[in-house]
Amino acid sequence: MQLLISNSSKEPIYNQIKDQIKQKVLSGELQEGHALPSMRQLAKDLHISVITTKRAYEELEKEGYIYSIIGKGSFIAEQNVDMIKEKKLTAMEEKLLEVIANSKEIGLSLKELKEWITILYEE
């Protein structure tokens, strides 16, 4: 499992870990039952303190992404990926509508908007 941590980011490190694992779950890279490295091993690999990985795992567990078995470690929990995707899509739709409204206000054409999005998407 690859995780990239930035020490200079404003985002707390445990949040970075949490978000990246979540993303890997949603993208299907991490499947149900997949064993995560122990929090102590992860702390060593990332050169961070144990309490940071502990917090990341605890929060992931609270949000239902992973589960832990004492003595065995932490595993990816069963995900209702469709439902999570549905939620995300609704949120995106709202944002897109906002973008469209703004474009119309300043007279940006659909074609121009599409081009702009294409450029950003491919970046």
The binder of another protein chosen from 16, 52, 74, 79 (CB under 8 A): 52
Does 47 sit near another protein (CB under 8 A)? yes
The binder of another protein chosen from 35, 50, 81, 100 (CB under 8 A): 50
Does 60 sit near another protein (CB under 8 A)? no
Interacting residues of 98 by C-beta distance below 8 A, sequence separation 6+: none
Residue (25 or 56) nearer to another protein, CB = 56
Rounded to whole angstroms, the Cα distance separating 59 from 46 reads 18
Helix (H, G, I), strand (E, B) or coil at 38: coil
Helix (H, G, I), strand (E, B) or coil at 18: helix
Residue (50 or 100) nearer to another protein, CB = 50
Decide: residue 16, CB within 10 A, 0-12 exposed, 13-18 middle, 19+ buried: buried
- The minimum distance between CB 49 and another protein, in angstroms, equals 5
Matching residue, tokens 């490295």? 37
Does 57 sit near another protein (CB under 8 A)? no
Q: Residue numbers of the site for another protein (CB under 8 A)?
A: 10, 12, 14, 38, 40-41, 43-44, 47-52, 55
